Amino acid sequence: MNWPEHGSNPQYIYKEMKISKPKNLIDFSANINPFGPPGILKEKWSELYPEIYDYPDPHTLILKERIAERENVDRSSILIGNGGSEIISLIGRMLAGKNVLLIEPAFSEYEKACNKNGCQIFYHHLKEPEWELDEKEIALKLKGMDAVFLCNPNNPTGIRYPHSTIVKLLKECKQNNSYLIIDEAFYDFLEDYIPIAPLLKDYSNLIILRSMTKMYAIPGLRLGYVLAGKHIIEKLSDDQPHWSVNILAMSAGELCLQDDRFIDNTINFIHTERERLFSFFHREAFVVSESSINFYLLRDPLEKEQMPFFEFLLRRGIVPRHTYNFPGLEGKWLRFAIKGTKENNRLMEVLTEWRQLP
């Protein structure tokens, strides 16, 4: 099958599965904040309208200053991009022809960007269902590698790796003259996040990817950034198109960063709903990944193949994310975002129906 590469846009999965799309459906395939965008965006939206008459700042200075202050890094260590995907594409160009190690399962855009730029790609597959990150085991594969991609918290499992493990891996990469590229697209959903941006001062091989579209629920605007040493930022900037970030996205990012309470409320809500959902999954004998954030992997261990389960959910208007294009998973799991209370209740109702089938 020609599986859709990403979540969201459920019409494509229904078309590929040759299933009629129900009138009422809930899309669990996109890992976006269930609260929607911060209220300040709606309040200020009409004030942003006049800005579309002007070109955006090609240097995104105000947004960089906000992020620099928040992360305690120099402004020269930041590059703003048109979503995380653009940043990954720029990194792919920087690594053209190099040897790259991907720690799988992981976001498919890493492999796609590296393939486009003629990289030699190598893989380290984490073993399910724990998906533990053994830095010693990975260190054995670092010889000859120019870069390593690591998603933390991991997409699609939702599992986070300890700060101490990241530091050990970073040291190993530095000794091997390898970049360690850490995608932190979902870091701001963590309850006890330990910042890694301070490590930039001692590790010139560290590259940190960030997305603002997930926590702030603005995927339609496309906004992300990268934290790295000045020399890396300059390399990436050279390949970035002029005015890559539109003025509405830039202004929205500046507004979103003013609302820390929004993040705290989101983290608390996600924690409560995750505990409630996981308790139900365990009680009903589903297997779930030990996620620490706003999405998780789920499977029915009573089914050898998950396709009948997947089809059942789609016909009931529940749209999970397939995992056929995640190396190492190949459809053995389904990924679900944590939605609002009403939507999560509906998911549990449908899963109960599934369990009651003869």
Is 272 found in the same domain as 123? no
The DSSP-derived string for 122-141 is EEEEPPTTTT---HHHHHTT
What is the domain extent for residue 337? 11-30+261-355
**Residue where a domain stops, chosen among 229, 256, 283:** 256
- Cα angle at 160 between 154 and 165, to 5 degrees? 110
Place of tokens 């730029």: 117
Is 91 found in the same domain as 16? no
Is 249 found in the same domain as 118? yes
Those residues whose C-beta lies under 8 Å from the C-beta of residue 145, and which sit 6 or more positions away, are 99, 100, 101, 122, 176, 178
Is 171 found in the same domain as 24? no
Those residues whose C-beta lies under 8 Å from the C-beta of residue 228, and which sit 6 or more positions away, are 77, 79, 200, 206, 207, 208, 236
Is 297 found in the same domain as 252? no
Residue 280, pLDDT score: 98
Is 137 found in the same domain as 25? no
The DSSP-derived string for 34-93 is TT-S-HHHHHHHHHHGGGGGS---TT-HHHHHHHHHHHT--GGGEEEESSHHHHHHHHHH
Give the predicted TM-score (pTM) of the model: 0.95
Is 293 found in the same domain as 168? no
- 283 is a domain residue: yes
Residue 8, pLDDT score: 72
Residue 1, pLDDT score: 65
Is 72 found in the same domain as 20? no
- 6 is a domain residue: no
Is 147 found in the same domain as 246? yes
One digit per residue, the tens of pLDDT, for the chain of length 358 reads 666 677 778 899 999 889 999 989 999 999 999 999 999 999 999 999 999 999 999 999 999 999 999 999 999 999 999 999 999 999 999 999 999 999 999 999 999 999 999 999 999 999 998 999 988 899 999 999 999 999 999 999 999 999 999 999 999 999 999 999 999 999 999 999 999 999 999 999 999 999 999 999 999 999 999 999 999 999 999 999 999 999 999 999 999 999 989 999 999 999 999 999 999 999 999 999 999 999 999 999 999 899 999 999 999 999 999 998 888 898 999 999 999 999 999 999 999 999 999 8
The whole-angstrom separation of Cα 92 and Cα 85 is 10
Is 292 found in the same domain as 208? no
Asked whether 164 and 131 are in contact (CB, 8 A), the reply is: no
The whole-angstrom separation of Cα 143 and Cα 153 is 25
**Residue where a domain stops, chosen among 209, 228, 256:** 256
- 39 is a domain residue: no
**Residue where a domain stops, chosen among 224, 256, 288:** 256
**The CATH number of the domain where 288 resides is what?**
3.90.1150.10
Q: How many domains does the chain have?
A: 2
